Amino acid sequence: MRVPTCSRHFLAAVALVLVSTGARAGLSYTLTSRSEGEAGQGGYEMRLDVLVSGGAAKAVFTTPPPGMSAGSWLVTQDGGGKTLVVDPGAKTYSEFSAGQLQSDVAAMQKAMGPLKMRTENVKVEDLGEEDGGTIEGFPAKHHRFRVSYDRTMKLPMVKRSMHTVIEDELWTTSAVADAGTGIWKLPPPKVPDGEGAEDLAAAYGKAGGFLLKLSRKTSSTGGHGDRSSTETLAVTEVKKADVPPETFAIPAGFTETQGGMMRPQGGSQMPDLK
């Protein structure tokens, strides 16, 4: 069977791992992410059991997000630079894309025809860094950010606007050197139209290291009423582990598919102005 081009380098990396002998030192931990909103806005809960060794990691969905089946898993060999999502039920795998959501939003806006939406007054504030105490035995730094913007919708004879504020608190540690912990990170807030992307990258880039905990509160005013939501992420049950190299291999007989991309939950969504 011909191996699809997009996965040749990834599978080559797996082969290099497998030629080594014995288990490698690493970490195991549980990552839990939750989203809660006001009545009618829905929410989700997701849980991952993660094994990490160096730049390699495997994350199994024990409580999957919407649209995923329990037992599906992610695997990376380069700290999340290239990640595959594996469906053991279908015996398939595909490339994980964290940026697809923005493309979907842009396509949706284009399909709306005469509906015109504009993002204005984007502001990214770095509110500082302080000691974050100890989390799971690791010294932590506490970072705070605030992101705000206005979203305006224009139709013939109709104009509506909504003001959104996103407040983030992050706790990170530099005490974990394994780059594989980057397999899953709740991304910075996504401002519609890609506005403020450079400022967001610069601000959140300062909060490097292993993300141990996050709290994200989003509030929007205007439109047809006020609304709010909260997202959290927490790493627990961190333990040292001996990780066999085959942990990060794609099972024999699995085939690659296109378009079945898993997307992380989290990040600010386009406000509903209806």
Q: What percent of the chain has pLDDT over 70?
A: 75
SS (H, E, C) 59-83: EEEEECCCCCCCCCEEEECCCCCCE
In degrees, rounded to 5, the angle at the alpha carbon of residue 81 between the alpha carbons of residues 108 and 202 is 70
pLDDT tens for each residue of 194-243: 888 999 999 998 898 999 999 999 999 987 678 899 999 999 999 999 99
Confidence at 7, pLDDT banded by 50, 70, 90 = low
CA distances, 91 to each of 20, 83, 250, 256, 257 (Å): 26, 17, 10, 9, 10
Q: Comparing C-alpha atoms, which of 3, 26, 6, 25 is closest to residue 183? A: 26
Checking if the pLDDT of 91 tops 80, the result is yes
pLDDT value at residue 187? 77
DSSP label at residue 193: G
Q: In terms of pLDDT, which residue wins out, 196 or 109? A: 196
User: Of 91-95, 110-114, 145-149, 168-172, which gets the smallest average pLDDT?
Assistant: 110-114
Confidence at 101, pLDDT banded by 50, 70, 90: very low
pTM score of the predicted model: 0.77
Domain segments of the chain: what residues? 5-256
Sheet holding 227-243, edge to edge: 116-135, 138-155, 158-173, 210-222, 227-243, 24-37, 43-53, 56-63, 73-76, 83-87, 92-95, 255-256
pLDDT score of 115 more than 70: no
Which carries the bigger pLDDT value, residue 75 or residue 19? 75
Q: pLDDT of 32-59, one tens digit each?
A: 999 988 644 567 889 999 999 999 999 9
Q: Which two tokens stand for residue 147?
A: 């992101």
Q: From CA 89, how far away is CA 160, in angstroms rounded?
A: 46
Stretch 105-117: mean pLDDT, rounded?
Answer: 56
Look up residue 15 and give its amino acid. A
Q: Reply yes or no on whether the pLDDT at 251 is more than 60.
A: yes
Q: What gap in Å lies between CA 167 and CA 216, rounded to an integer?
A: 6
Q: What is the DSSP string of 82-118?
A: SEEEEETTTTEEEE--SSHHHHHHHHHHHHTTT-EEE
Average pLDDT over all residues of the chain: 81
Least confident of 79-93, 106-120, 152-166, 191-205: 106-120
Exposure of 136 by Cβ count < 10 A (0-12 exposed, 13-18 middle, 19+ buried)? middle
Summarize the confidence of residues 59-87 as an average pLDDT. 89
H helix runs in 115-207, sequence order: 197-204
If you count them, how many residues does the chain have? 274
Which is nearest to 148 in space by CA: 119, 184, 187?
119
Give the model confidence (pLDDT) of 133-156 as tens digits. Answer: 999 999 999 999 999 999 988 776
